[in-house]
Structure 1
């Protein structure tokens, strides 16, 4: 009886492991205007109701609070994973209210936004304690070897968080995903255009493989 009870218990656990749906809470991180919210909106459009998670704007730090959507099931080449997506504010080492005034905002509004953006960075860092992995979105038209990118990657490596780099904006003529690969060769990189959807299926497959 003891053997049979043990066998049934082990068999039940084995079956549960096979049929248990993979689930991961993934954060979208990166510098301001790298395309995090555009990518989050693209993922929602492809795998959910299509409702946007946030507003996209040329003004930096448009996203100043973390936005979360749960239960997105991504299927890619036979792999399936259920994601909770967290779109985080743009990471920055310094936020100056004059950045916002350059876009025509008043001094009062600019100072308010700068304060909110600073609080958003702190919130994004705190979210790292509750994540299973990170999509680090970089603008492939810019130099990837910045203090922000190096600091963010170092922080995630120290936490041993699974990390997938998304080289965004490959639709632009001066895009160079290879520069990102050269700067951070220790991490997997997928070049995409979140705006146009180029290479997005490769990203979904990488997500299913990397975080599953």
Structure 2
């Protein structure tokens, strides 16, 4: 009886291991505020899910995403290879959220203070996901902005310390001031993929790289 029980347990563990490898990988979309993370998450969802529902609202106002949002079981097929991922769209990470940022967008002070508090909580949640709950990272940067910032250096360092696979996406190449090379120079140890999530430019390469890195 003991031998049979041990055999059954071994088979159960092997089966569990087999199925766990097939579980969707949680891929966190990270980066500073207004880099286009939600725009990218929405485009991936529209392109690769049956109903194409948006992951979250897009806005030019900073910190529109103040809670992590998850889109499960996104199946991406490229070059005969299929990868199943759960997209985790995270709040933009910054060292400080100042309520006065929101006053510039015709927001009342009370709403601005509430929104800044929610954004601060969102940053903490994003960091929790990064340390505990993601299997890989898509790091989105606005290619028209300077990538040499404390936040970007800190986050890339944390991602590397977690030994997580990471792709850097240089977004907003449709803008006149875009410089993909500037981002490549900032983080030469990682592959940088140019794209415009808004216009849909270079999305074929984006999906090729997602399948390659996270498959």
Aligned to 1:63: 65
TM-score between the two structures when normalised by the length of structure 2: 0.89
Aligned to 2:156: 153
Q: Following the alignment from structure 1 to structure 2, what is the Cα–Cα distance between the partners of residues 169 and 108?
A: 32
Unaligned runs of 5+ in 2: 1-9
- How does 1:41-190 map onto structure 2 within 5 Å? 41-48=42-49, 49-128=51-130, 129-190=132-193
Q: Following the alignment from structure 2 to structure 1, what is the Cα–Cα distance between the partners of residues 76 and 55?
A: 17
Q: Following the alignment from structure 2 to structure 1, what is the Cα–Cα distance between the partners of residues 162 and 22?
A: 25
| Partner deviation per Cα, 1:13-46 (whole Å, 9 max, x = no partner) | 8xx97xx757311000000000000000000000
| Partner deviation per Cα, 1:100-154 (whole Å, 9 max, x = no partner) | 0111101000000000000000000000111100000000000011111101101
TM-score between the two structures when normalised by the length of structure 1: 0.90
Structure 1 residue matching 2:74: 3-state secondary structure: strand
Runs (4+) of structure 1 exceeding 4 A deviation are: none
Q: Following the alignment from structure 2 to structure 1, what is the Cα–Cα distance between the partners of residues 168 and 202?
A: 14
Deviation of 1:50 (Å): 1.3
Unaligned runs of 5+ in 1: 1-8
Structure 1 residue matching 2:196: 3-state secondary structure: coil
Pick aligned residue for 1:198 from 190, 197, 201:
201
| Partner deviation per Cα, 1:174-200 (whole Å, 9 max, x = no partner) | 111110001100001110000011001
Q: Please provide the CA RMSD for this pair.
A: 1.7
Paired residues of 1:22 and 1:80 also in contact (CA < 8 A): no
Deviation of 1:173 (Å): 1.4
